[in-house]
Amino acid sequence: MLIINIKDNETIDRALGRYKKKIRDTQLLKEVRRRKSFEKPSVTRRGQVLKAVHKLQVQREANDQ
């Protein structure tokens, strides 16, 4: 739970901006989306491997040109 203390003579827009920035910095939404559905560890690992393979292919194509 994030708590934002509103300072004296601070507008709601400014406080909302600070709140949004704090959420973005803590990556709270990213964590909520990740926990929304369960993904098996093997599926997660497979995604990481495929991503690494893709990066290597892109690097090799860049080096060949």
Question: Does some domain include residue 7?
Answer: no
pTM exceeds 0.75, yes or no: no
Domain range enclosing 38 = 12-64
Burial of 12 (0-12, 13-18, 19+ CB in 10 A): exposed
Question: Does some domain include residue 41?
Answer: yes
The two three-digit tokens of residue 25, written as one number:
């910095």
Crossing angle for the helix pair 28-36 and 12-26, to the nearest 10 degrees? 60
Q: Is the dihedral of CA 28, 34, 36, 38 positive or negative?
A: negative
pLDDT of residue 44: 93
Question: Does some domain include residue 1?
Answer: no
Question: Does some domain include residue 17?
Answer: yes
Residues sharing a CB contact under 8 Å with residue 15, sequence separation 6 or more, in sequence order: 4, 6, 7
Question: Does some domain include residue 16?
Answer: yes
pLDDT of residue 16: 93
Total domains present in the chain:
1
pLDDT of residue 43: 95
Give me the residues of the chain with pLDDT under 50, please.
none
